[in-house]
Amino acid sequence: MKRLTIVMCGACLAAAAHAEKVVQIHMVNADGVGEAIGTITASVTPWGVLFEPDLQSLPPGLHGFHVHQNPDCGPAEKDSEMAAAVAAGGHFDPQNTGRHKGPYGKGHLGDLPPLYVDGEGNATHPVLAPRLKMSDLNGRALMVHAHGDNYSDQPVELGGGGARIACGVVK
Contact footprint for Cu ion (CB under 5 A): 66, 143
Could you tell me the smallest distance in angstroms from the CB atom of residue 161 to Cu ion?
Answer: 6
Could you tell me the smallest distance in angstroms from the CB atom of residue 53 to Cu ion?
Answer: 15
Nearest-CA neighbor of 151 among 142, 141, 161? Answer: 161
Residue with nearest beta carbon to Cu ion: 66
Nearer to Cu ion, 143 or 170 (CB): 143
Q: Specify which residues 65 forms β-bridges with.
A: 144
Could you tell me the smallest distance in angstroms from the CB atom of residue 8 to Cu ion?
Answer: 41
Nearer to Cu ion, 122 or 143 (CB): 143
Nearer to Cu ion, 19 or 89 (CB): 89
CA–CA distance from 100 to each of 5, 33, 130 (Å)?
Answer: 48, 26, 16
User: Left (φ > 0), alpha (ψ -120 to 50) or beta: where does 79 sit?
Assistant: left
Q: How many CB atoms lie within 10 A of CB 99?
A: 17
**What is the spatial distance between Cα 85 and Cα 31, in angstroms, rounded to a whole number?**
9
Nearer to Cu ion, 23 or 143 (CB): 143
Could you tell me the smallest distance in angstroms from the CB atom of residue 17 to Cu ion?
Answer: 26
